[in-house]
Amino acid sequence: MKSSALPLAALEVGLIVAWSSGFIGARLAADAGTVFLVLFWRFVIVSLVLLPLLIRAARRGLTAKSLILQSMLGIFAMFGYLALGIKAIDLGVPAGTAALISALQPVATAALAGSILHERVSRLQWTGLILGLAGVSLAVGGSLGEAPLLAYILSAASTLSLVVATIAAKAMPDSTPLLPSLAIQSLVAAVLFAPLALLEGGMAPVLDLRFIAAVAWFILFSTIGGYGLYWLCLRRSSATRVGSLIYLTPPVTMIWGWLMFSETITIAAVIGFFICMTGVFLTRPTTSVRRA
């Protein structure tokens, strides 16, 4: 995938749409009744499809450093982020509250980017990050619910897991092509999701239309699209900027829900969406950061 052939703005729009599709995939998986089994087969199939590209990359010289980095991204960005977030909701954290906790990711990323990556985060960008968080709060809302403290800790750990992966990917730039990188990450995630699928009831795929639709949705939109574009944007721009784009995913998810499930979009959600757009606009970099 030649990211340099596409404008950064086009990649960012694609990321926002694709990343928000993951929440719809989670609903499809829940409707199938086997969330971890869907995630397991999602990553198994992606691994198998991309395996020839991984083998070719290995023959051309895949370094141990690249293998370790991509494996770590699979652990934190795919398994940790998804497994911990899903378990938190399963333990009772309301979806709206989970989205708000997840929306802390851009702020946490920006805070670490300054100290670890030595990225300069201007006052205007900090203003944009705070505005984005306020917009998500207004758009999503959510109550504390009656979940135990452990559930909220897991939700926060899910967000932190993605922050760790983002900082690691930016701090250790890797020249491994995107698709072989996704193959390694997906393979690691599949191995880690296997015992969770087993505990959920078994590892055999379910020959059911809802199951197949959920797996296909995750593969096309959330894995190849969502994670692929996330890493591409991170190679072209700053960690703070890419993190800020996540602010637009809850409002866009609401649009997905309206189109697919006829869910209601509130006035608060529309206002919050435009506040998020303003915040993201303020975080735009003056120049793109290009790395292999």
pLDDT for residue 116: 83
Contact 156, 85 (CB under 8 A): no
Confidence of residue 25 (pLDDT cuts 50, 70, 90): confident
For residues 189 and 183, give the distance between their C-alpha atoms in angstroms, rounded to a whole number. Answer: 10
Contact 99, 136 (CB under 8 A): yes
Q: What b/e string do you get for 54-79 counting C-beta neighbours within 10 Å, with b at 16 or more?
A: beebeeeebeeebeebbbbbbbbbbb
Chain segment 52-80, per-residue pLDDT in tens:
999 999 998 889 999 999 999 999 999 99
Query: Which of 5-9, 75-79, 232-236 is predicted with the least confidence, judged by mean pLDDT?
Result: 5-9
For residues 121 and 114, give the distance between their C-alpha atoms in angstroms, rounded to a whole number. Answer: 7
For residues 14 and 6, give the distance between their C-alpha atoms in angstroms, rounded to a whole number. Answer: 11
For residues 264 and 113, give the distance between their C-alpha atoms in angstroms, rounded to a whole number. Answer: 37
pLDDT for residue 114: 75
Q: Which of 190, 173, 276, 233 is nearest to 19 (CA)?
A: 233
Contact 182, 228 (CB under 8 A): yes
Contact 26, 214 (CB under 8 A): no
For residues 59 and 38, give the distance between their C-alpha atoms in angstroms, rounded to a whole number. Answer: 31
pLDDT for residue 212: 92
What is the separation, in whole angstroms, between the first and last Cα of the chain? 12
pLDDT for residue 288: 42
Chain segment 262-287, per-residue pLDDT in tens:
777 778 778 888 888 888 888 876 54
Give the CA distances from residue 257 to residues 254, 260, 261, in Å, rounded to whole numbers and listed in that order: 5, 5, 5
Q: Which of 45, 109, 47, 105 is nearest to 81 (CA)?
A: 105
pLDDT for residue 44: 96
Contact 87, 150 (CB under 8 A): no
pLDDT for residue 68: 95
Contacts of 47-53 with CB under 8 Å at 24 or more apart are: 47/183, 47/186, 47/187, 47/190, 50/179, 50/180, 50/182, 50/183, 50/186, 51/183, 53/177, 53/179, 53/180, 53/183
Q: Percent of the chain at pLDDT above 70?
A: 92
Query: Which of 8-22, 95-109, 170-184, 209-223 is predicted with the least confidence, judged by mean pLDDT?
Result: 95-109
Average pLDDT, the chain: 85
- Higher local confidence (pLDDT), 44 or 138: 44
Q: What does the radius of gyration of the chain's CA atoms come to, in whole angstroms? A: 18
Chain segment 112-137, per-residue pLDDT in tens:
877 787 778 788 888 888 888 888 77
Query: Which of 94-98, 99-103, 204-208, 227-231 is predicted with the least confidence, judged by mean pLDDT?
Result: 94-98
Helix, strand or coil for residue 235?
Answer: helix
Chain segment 11-21, per-residue pLDDT in tens:
999 998 998 88
Judged against a pLDDT cut of 90, whether residue 142 lies above it is answered with: no
pLDDT for residue 178: 92
Helix, strand or coil for residue 147?
Answer: coil
Hey, CA dihedral for 67, 69, 74, 75, is it positive or negative?
Answer: positive
pTM: 0.84
Confidence of residue 1 (pLDDT cuts 50, 70, 90): very low
For residues 276 and 171, give the distance between their C-alpha atoms in angstroms, rounded to a whole number. Answer: 27
pLDDT for residue 4: 55
Q: Percent of the chain at pLDDT above 90?
A: 36
